[in-house]
Amino acid sequence: MVKRSFLPKQVLYLLWSYLIAICFFFLFRIAILPFHNESITEILSQDGGYILLFKAFFMGFRFDTLISCFVISPILISFIFAYYFNIKNRIFYKINHYFLVVLFSICFAISSVDIPYFKYFFNRFNVQALLWMDSPGFVFKMIVEEVSYIFFFFLFVGVIIIYSWLMRKVYNRFLILSKSTSNKSRLNAKAYFINSLFFLFVIGLCFLGMRGRIEIKSPMKVGTAYFSNNPLINQMGLNPTYTFMKSVEEKFKQDNKPLNLMDKKEARVFVENEFRKMKENGKKRDVVLDKNTNVVLVIMEAMGATNIGHFGNQKGLTPNLDSLLINSISYENVYTAGIHTYNGVYSTLFGQPALMHKHSMNSTIIPKMEGGLPNILKENGYKTIYFTTHDDQFDNIGGFLLANGIEKIISVKDYPKNEVKSTLGVPDHVMLNRAIEEITKLGSNNPFFATILTASNHGPYIFPENISLVAKSKDIKDKMIEYSDWAIGEFIEKANQETWFGNTVFVFIADHGTYKGKTNYELPLSYHHTPLLIYSPSKLKPKKVENIGLQIDVPALISSYLGIENNKTLGIDFEINSRKYGFFSADDKLGVIDNEYFYIWNKNGNEYLYKYKTSDKTNYINQNRAKANQMQKYGFSMLMN
């Protein structure tokens, strides 16, 4: 029998449900730590580091309470209804019990997925993860084939088993009514009055937990978690269910609407003036290639600058790219438009920025792009072809490209089944070998423009068998970087044996970089800083270009080298027309950068201004408000045009 208590048994059930949920959320937050060990070690080595970590966990407790109260609130209302109408039916309570267990299980599922998601993107789980859900088979295969994800699957299964068992015990203790209890008459007026006051108190606590704060102006928001200058600490306090639900809410409010960061007319005038100034102050290009020069553009999966020896990586993973960079025109300060592959393809080919959370290529009605390399070069007599290792319809890329200047696509359907190793299709070197064959078939009557998107440097990581490379790395991610670099080296060596090689310029850029597990700033620069090189030993002399450039500048840069004046993009030939600032976005964040300052803005209204060249973690937003405003206006204006 249930021991007598001054608290109604339904309230005791919900109280225990809350405490159990909080414990599980706490354990999920603990599970994050090993995957950010380098940053955590650095935090704990500083004075006040343990206090900072404790504050992050306390903030996490507040967000976990917020989610728990939202989950519990409908059950609380149901139980109060049952109390006043004297409902004793076991089926009624069993339905409420299972509903509560299912809701919390969904929260725990999100928390399980959030661990690898946060590790990879340095963002807590949000609606952007569902952009892949229009290709569920593709995503499921990719997850299954990534061995490390098996751990998180079993973690979730284990959590649900233990959680269900604990909740069953709580249910048996508080919600299974004995016959004597179920046959009791209604309570007297005094008991109703006392319990009514108590229920009002519990409802007040639940409402306060859902609001998260006692301040009148605003409930708890994502920005509430940003209480320090450490980006990892700030995000650790967030609950992934909360970030997911808020991002869903924002998505329904903002999708299919233009960005509204500032007055549209003011933004257009600002951008027109900036382009006019750059054109007036710009120089004429002294080296112009023949308009019949072939162009091979390689967009390298996740091959950010931090992976490459030329930019300071000490592991020696990229000897081929390092050699190419020395013998090419190497652009040292170039940044990708976003953090997703679709951002990289869209911005590199069409010279348009990543519009925060928007997926510019995944629309039912595919827009006709006025500019962009495929269209520009096709209009100038080029044959256009696109190569990918996997399904070209993923992210709607294939349909978008075919509607905008690409004449032929070689994808996973064009390879023998025995060469397809995962949901990401064939290994890079198989695709690159096929690219040489297909390019050679194009003949020499017309110049060609070939775009190649690599994929092997993305999970599921599968190191190919029967290749000449003997990787020295033990870590699978480092091994895949070695492999991707080796495949590029093999591609250049084999292309050099073809007759079209001497009349071709090779352009290499990353679709985006990677988060390396440690960052000083809320928007990791490692995810945006990319190599950009133009290699053509018979046509171009090697040199370094230090000007700030962007991924969206690639169409304008290549067109300029070819002597084609048809730039209808937001990109420029930054080699001869210096940019005042670079800008890029990562879903809910905007970054603006020059040679000294790095400005960050996010949708929650948080702003930061750092002197990134010296890795200074001081936020200079108040000391240099004028500079921050100038950088913000530049970034806002560019995104709105």
- pLDDT at position 288, please? 85
Is 304 found in the same domain as 231? Answer: no
Element holding 108 (H helix, E strand): helix 90-121
- pLDDT at position 216, please? 64
Domain, as residue range, for 50? 9-251
Nearest to 518 by CA among 42, 149, 126, 53: 42
Pick the more confident residue, 2 or 427. 427
- Tell me the β-bridge partners of 534: 329, 507
Confidence class of residue 256 from pLDDT cuts 50, 70 and 90? low
Is 237 found in the same domain as 277? Answer: no
* Last residue within a domain, chosen from 251, 285, 300: 251
Spatial distance between the Cα atoms of 106 and 108, rounded to a whole number of angstroms: 5
Give the strand pairing for 607-611 and 589-593.
unpaired
In a domain, 307, yes or no: yes
Q: What is the pLDDT of residues 451-463, one digit of tens each?
A: 999 999 998 999 9
Instruction: State which of 158-162, 230-234, 456-460 shows the largest mean pLDDT.
Output: 158-162
Give the burial string for 314-340 (b: 16+ CB within 10 Å, else e).
Answer: eeebbebbbbbbeebbbbbbbbbbbbb
Nearby residues of 618 by Cβ (< 8 Å), 6 or more positions away: 229, 610, 611
- pLDDT at position 187, please? 55
Share of the chain above pLDDT 90, in %: 66
Query: Taking residues 24-47, what's their average pLDDT?
Result: 93
In a domain, 297, yes or no: yes
Query: Taking residues 39-58, what's their average pLDDT?
Result: 93
- pLDDT at position 229, please? 73
- pLDDT at position 181, please? 46
Cβ–Cβ < 8 Å for 296, 498: no
Checking if the pLDDT of 440 tops 90, the result is yes
Confidence class of residue 178 from pLDDT cuts 50, 70 and 90? very low
Alpha helices in 373-499 (DSSP H): 373-379, 397-402, 428-441, 476-495
Q: What is the pLDDT of residues 198-219, one digit of tens each?
A: 888 889 999 999 998 876 666 8
Is 243 found in the same domain as 285? Answer: no
Cis peptide before 537 (omega within 30 of 0): no
Spatial distance between the Cα atoms of 597 and 391, rounded to a whole number of angstroms: 40
Pick the more confident residue, 522 or 509. 509
What is the layout of strands, in order, in the sheet containing 589-593?
582-586, 589-593, 597-602, 607-611
Element holding 156 (H helix, E strand): helix 148-174
In a domain, 258, yes or no: no
Is 242 found in the same domain as 269? Answer: no
Give the strand pairing for 597-602 and 589-593.
antiparallel
In a domain, 507, yes or no: yes
Share of the chain above pLDDT 70, in %: 94
Is 14 found in the same domain as 124? Answer: yes
- pLDDT at position 179, please? 45
Query: Taking residues 579-608, what's their average pLDDT?
Result: 94
Checking if the pLDDT of 584 tops 70, the result is yes
Checking if the pLDDT of 182 tops 70, the result is no
Is 390 found in the same domain as 297? Answer: yes
Checking if the pLDDT of 136 tops 90, the result is no
Q: On the CB side of 36, how many CA atoms lie within 13 Å of its CA?
A: 30
Return the SS3 of 183: coil
In a domain, 4, yes or no: no
Which domain CATH number covers 355? Answer: 3.40.720.10
Is 292 found in the same domain as 180? Answer: no
Checking if the pLDDT of 526 tops 80, the result is yes
CA dihedral 212, 216, 219, 223 (to 10 degrees): -110
φ/ψ (deg, to 5) at 504: -130, 140
* Last residue within a domain, chosen from 221, 251, 281: 251
In a domain, 35, yes or no: yes
Lowest mean pLDDT among 352-361, 481-490, 549-558: 352-361
Is 272 found in the same domain as 127? Answer: no
Checking if the pLDDT of 498 tops 80, the result is yes
Nearest to 260 by CA among 355, 354, 352: 355
Is 363 found in the same domain as 219? Answer: no
Checking if the pLDDT of 185 tops 90, the result is no
Query: Taking residues 618-624, what's their average pLDDT?
Result: 95
Is 151 found in the same domain as 52? Answer: yes
Spatial distance between the Cα atoms of 476 and 473, rounded to a whole number of angstroms: 7
Spatial distance between the Cα atoms of 620 and 607, rounded to a whole number of angstroms: 10
Averaged pLDDT of the chain? 90
Checking if the pLDDT of 548 tops 90, the result is yes
Is 42 found in the same domain as 75? Answer: yes
Cβ–Cβ < 8 Å for 21, 211: no
In a domain, 257, yes or no: no
Residue type, 452: I
Cβ–Cβ < 8 Å for 634, 581: yes
| Dihedral sign for Cα atoms in the order 574, 458, 452, 488 | positive
In a domain, 463, yes or no: yes
* Last residue within a domain, chosen from 217, 251, 285: 251
Is 287 found in the same domain as 247? Answer: no
Spatial distance between the Cα atoms of 146 and 134, rounded to a whole number of angstroms: 20
Count of structural domains, the chain = 2
Q: On the CB side of 255, how many CA atoms lie within 13 Å of its CA?
A: 13
φ/ψ (deg, to 5) at 600: -130, 135
Return the SS3 of 516: coil
Spatial distance between the Cα atoms of 516 and 250, rounded to a whole number of angstroms: 28
Q: What is the pLDDT of residues 379-399, one digit of tens each?
A: 999 999 999 999 888 888 888
